[in-house]
Homo-oligomer: A and B are copies of this chain.
Amino acid sequence: MRAAAEQAAQALRDEILSGAIPSGARLGEAELAGRLSVSRTPIREALSRLAAEGLVEIQPNRGARVASWSSEQLRDIFELRLRLEPYAVRQAVPNLDAEQIAELDELAAEMMRVGKPGRNQNLAAIVELNRRFHGLFIDAAGSPPLAQALRGVTHAAVVTQNFHDYAPAALLRSLHHHVEMVAAARAGAGEWAEAIMRAHLYNARATMIGHGPEEAGAQEATTGRGSEGAGAQEATTGRGSEGAGAQEATTGHATTMGVRA
């Protein structure tokens, strides 16, 4: 897979993560092919890749849609992140060189800048910055299997984590966590960074899906629980999508994207 397919995948990734294409929206192959000026073949390739990353869901003979997550799945995702990401950060800290720490510093600072309440608060920009921030730590952990396991859920969660639902106080906490994490990394204190990451995730989870692990009364007697069948229940989110006018959609931030129920 190269040039066309990779490019198409990246374009779609950006559009999805930025919210230009709302979650649940249908992704017709012909439409995408026309819009991105490539054939359907690389489009299919790209959709496969994004499906593997968890960004889109493919149903046989029925096309692809932008993925969406139930609040239950969201709980699962955070449970997973809590189990892996603090560990990843601890492993990463000793591996970080000066350049990487500088980049983390820059990212954290930039997020503080664009996230500061008031006008010209650019929440959409945070999504991408945040993704790079977490991604840098994950890569630096130096464990490809760990990175692969986390990629999907950070993508997924980050998309959902559209920061629009953040209460101002929680958002500020989150941004300060980033800064503190950089400080911990610079000090070479892996366990410090790990602790902050854990707090970071708890904070995010609390705003995302009511707080607490809800450990008790969790099973609620869902008998078999048929593995993982496609659970996209008619999420046809607007978007008439006549002609090739997808440009102006880029500006509109989706408000409650990702969360299904």
A residues contacting B by CB (< 8 A) are 1-2, 6, 41, 44-45, 48-49, 51-52, 54, 58, 60-61, 73, 76-77, 79-80, 83-84, 87, 94-95, 97, 139-140, 142-150, 152-153, 156, 219, 222-225, 227-228
Tell me if B139 and A145 are in contact (CB < 8 A): no
Supposing A48-B49, A52-B49, A222-B142 touch, asked if A2 and B228 sit within 8 A by C-beta, the answer is no
Supposing A49-B48, A222-B95 touch, asked if A147 and B228 sit within 8 A by C-beta, the answer is yes
**Identity of the chain B residue whose Cβ is nearest the Cβ of A6 in the assembled complex:** B60
The 8 A-B residue pairs with the shortest CB-CB distance in the complex, in nearest-first order: A52-B52, A76-B143, A149-B149, A2-B60, A139-B227, A48-B48, A144-B228, A76-B145
Partner of A1, one of B2, B60, B87: B60
Supposing A52-B48, A52-B49 touch, asked if A145 and B140 sit within 8 A by C-beta, the answer is no
**Identity of the chain B residue whose Cβ is nearest the Cβ of A78 in the assembled complex:** B145
Given contacts A1-B48, A140-B225, 17 further A-B contacts (CB under 8 A): A41-B41, A48-B52, A52-B52, A54-B145, A73-B143, A73-B144, A76-B145, A77-B145, A83-B84, A95-B219, A97-B223, A139-B227, A139-B228, A142-B225, A145-B153, A145-B156, A147-B227
Partner of A143, one of B58, B79, B87, B219: B79
A-B contact pairs, 15 of them (CB 8 A): A2-B60, A48-B49, A52-B52, A54-B148, A73-B145, A76-B144, A76-B146, A79-B143, A80-B145, A80-B149, A84-B149, A94-B219, A139-B227, A147-B228, A149-B150
CB distance from A70 to the nearest CB of B (A): 10
Give the most central of A97, A149, A150, A152: most B CB within 10 Å.
A149
Chain B residues whose C-beta falls within 8 Å of the C-beta of A156 in the assembled complex: 145
